[in-house]
Amino acid sequence: ALGFTCRRLAFEGPSGVGVDARIENLYARRGTASPNLCFAGHTDVVPTGPSDQWSSQPFNAEVRDGVLYGRGAVDMKGGIAAWVAAVSQVLVDGEPKGSLSFLITGDEEGPALHGTKRVVEALAAEGEVIDACVVGEPSSSQQLGDMIKVGRRGSLNTWITVHGKQGHVAYPERAANPAPVIAKLMSRLNDHVLDDGYENFPPSNLEITTIDIGNPATNIIPAEARARLNIRFNPSHTGDALIDWLNREAGAMQAETGLQITLEHLCSGEAFLTEPGAFVAAVQDAVEAVLGRRPEASTTGGTSDARFIRTLCPVLELGLVGQTMHQIDERVPTAELETLTAVYRRVIETVFERL
């Protein structure tokens, strides 16, 4: 009814199951003129947790006392609905200056291997031009429109295994204990200062998330010791550079102790920043015009699909207050959805005026 040309883009991995399972995505566009303003979002959600702790069925949306309850109400089906409503209002006034598009995925909360990442790759290969993108993640902190996200830190997970030799604790000369080696290595990594911060970003941060010996016996020197860490890093680093550093530290410890140390790495996103400019200013001006407050441009929080879209165009995140996302009784006042619709409408109008 809104005149969009819709394309279903499905991707999967080699096995077709698990993390390779088929993911359905949508790219829809109305118009051919420039600029092309895209809205990106996701329809998948996190697990509900114990459903008996919800005040209503988590997947049966229910409005009570002016509040919409349901999994995904905030993160982020509410944002998608508000943008669709805003687009319909804009079109009532006539043809916009440029094109409008949607990029909607079902693979954001999970591995994010065959969702936005694959769609962006396909669009780039086709030569599709997107000039600016708003991701409808719940970016607001305390009140609607108080914050937009103009960048995100990168994220690197590393799994470390120290290979020792199992033996009896009474005969340590016949064994090689990996436990003190993993402890020493993790302490060394934890004590290292990665940086002192970067413009618009806090210092990069390494967190040890698991140390696992897996030895229930009191008289056995274990054969292996494992650990996992995560680094949230600002643009003063790249994932590859951090991987090189971790490999060097592990190599030095291996040379020092004589025990083999193996590492596996997964960088799920690089750090990025959408620099101040016409697009960011247009969105901030639009929010201020509707709400009377100018949103802070922030880079806090975890990763989002903006990390993939950044390779196509300037991207930022603007959406609901995220305080109940992922929680029992996830909810949003319906009045806030109506206000977000008004904000999104002004964003569309202002961006088309400026770009």
Give the CA distances from residue 304 to residues 152, 153, 206, 277, 332, in Å, rounded to whole numbers and listed in that order.
8, 10, 19, 21, 21
Judge whether 244 counts as a catalytic residue: no
For residue 14 the two structure tokens come to 């080699």
Active-site position among 12, 20, 24, 44: 44
Based on the number of CB atoms within 10 Å of its own CB, is 261 exposed (0-12), middle (13-18) or buried (19 or more)? buried
SS3 at position 167: strand
Rg (CA), the chain: 24
Q: 269 pairs with which residues across the strands?
A: 155
DSSP string across 253-284: HHHHH--EEEEEEEEEE--EE--SSHHHHHHH
- Which DSSP helix (H) or strand (E) runs through 154? strand 154-163
CA distances from residue 47 to 14, 41, 109, 112 in whole angstroms, order as listed: 26, 18, 10, 16
Burial of 114 (0-12, 13-18, 19+ CB in 10 A): buried
Residue type (1 letter), 303? T
Element (H, E) at 205: strand 205-212
Distances (CA, A) of 242 to 58, 122, 162, 218: 40, 29, 19, 37
Q: How far is CA 303 from the centre of its chain?
A: 3
What is the DSSP code (8-state) at residue 202?
P
Q: Is the separation of the CB atoms in 340 and 355 below 8 Å? A: no
Active site residue 108: yes
Q: Are 153 and 197 in contact (CB under 8 A)?
A: no
- Catalytic positions: 44, 108
